[in-house]
Amino acid sequence: MNKAVSVIKSVVRFYTDGFQNMPGWGRKVWIVILIKLFIIFVVLKIFFFPDILKKGFRSDSERSTYMRDQLININSK
């Protein structure tokens, strides 16, 4: 257990030292990467992957019945 903790600490120290000693252009690159990740996971999910199970069903049992029926229909084709 102590070995695992020391490995995790050394990895964290590695990354924190790397980010602290990073030149100016490196930080700009990381900002661009974080903005892209935000766009991919938040904006695209909101507009292109709506949660259809919350809109048309009133209870969890209706949602589970719908999903079960859909999975059975896919497997039977």
Helices (H), the chain: 2-20, 24-38, 44-48, 52-55, 60-76
Sign of CA pseudo-dihedral 33, 38, 40, 43? negative
pTM > 0.85: yes or no? no
Per-residue model confidence as pLDDT tens digits over 56-68:
788 888 888 888 8
Per-residue model confidence as pLDDT tens digits over 7-22:
999 999 998 888 888 8
Question: Where are the domains positioned within the chain?
Answer: 2-76
pLDDT of residue 58: 83
Radius of gyration of the chain (CA): 23
Residue 77 has pLDDT above 70, yes or no: no
